[in-house]
Structure 1
Amino acid sequence: MFNTDTLLLYFPAIILLFTLEIILTACRSDDVQWTRTLAVCNLIVNFSWVTLLLVMVSNPNLFNPEFAPTIARTYNYSLTTATAILYFIGYSIVLAVVITNIIDTFTGFSNCKFKKKRDSF
């Protein structure tokens, strides 16, 4: 289904983002209250995941070259229809991840209490 050589190109970035996500989760569990720095770090990690996912889905070499013709033969579709369905599924997953990350980022900033500067005379 997937081209393993192409997937291995993304492996270091995936490991880096998993590591950042674990560090961020550890920081969130230590702090009772979200801080601005924590919310910004959460935004950066979420943006990085979305960017990586978009790059991966946009790569034409992601799938094995025989996968789309096999799907087309199995379900009696034309090759262009099978390819369009695969792209639709991929970009639907990206859209779901984007919406989830936007909600997570918004929640992080809304849980963050900003310090207000006092007026001095």
Structure 2
Amino acid sequence: MSLFGNVSLMVLFPSALLLLTLEIVLGSYKALYPKWTTKLAISNLVLNILWMLLIVILLLNPNVIQPYLAESLAKVFQKSPEDITTQVSLLIMGVGLASIATTIIDSFIGFKNLRTEKIKQFFK
């Protein structure tokens, strides 16, 4: 009796691990070479799009959180399982929307930094 659906998480784990590795590599590159180029901004955008796709897949997959989780939380909070299921769904959607918002902001800041670098080069 596992808390999460093993099949869905085991399928998504390698892609999440790959994206995390790419994020660490890109973050290290940004730290070593703070000058933004077009390739860096586009790779940042692609990585953010891949993260958003993974988050959307996790949010739309009903097997990630099993129904007995709502029952056990209902016992803890002394509410009906339907109320807990709704609250868990709202919490997951809130976290997902916050993650998507931060990836959009990160992509926007990347292209803003690229524009700033091009303006700096123009005035040199």
Shorter-normalised TM range: 0.7 to 0.9
Contact 1:46/1:105 (CA < 8 Å) preserved in 2? yes
Q: Distance in 2 between matches of 1:73 and 1:111?
A: 50
- Indicate the RMSD between aligned Cα atoms, in angstroms: 1.9
Identity %: 33
Q: TM-score, normalised by structure 1?
A: 0.84
Name 2:41's counterpart in structure 1. Answer: 39
Contact 1:39/1:108 (CA < 8 Å) preserved in 2? yes
Q: Distance in 2 between matches of 1:50 and 1:32?
A: 24
Alignment length, in residue pairs? 116
Among 19, 25, 37, which residue is 2:21 paired with? 19
CA displacement at 1:30 relative to structure 2 = 3.1
Q: Distance in 2 between matches of 1:50 and 1:109?
A: 18
The correspondence of residues 1-121 of structure 1 with structure 2, limited to 5 A, is: 1-112=3-114, 113-114=117-118
Q: Distance in 2 between matches of 1:79 and 1:54?
A: 25
Amino acid at match of 2:14: P
CA displacement at 1:94 relative to structure 2 = 0.8
Contact 1:2/1:64 (CA < 8 Å) preserved in 2? yes
Listed one character per residue, the Cα deviations across residues 17-64 of structure 1 (whole Å, up to 9, x for unaligned) are 012112212321232310111111111111111110111121111013
Amino acid at match of 1:54: V
Amino acid at match of 1:98: I
The structure whose residues are more often helix, as a share, is: 2
CA displacement at 1:91 relative to structure 2 = 0.6
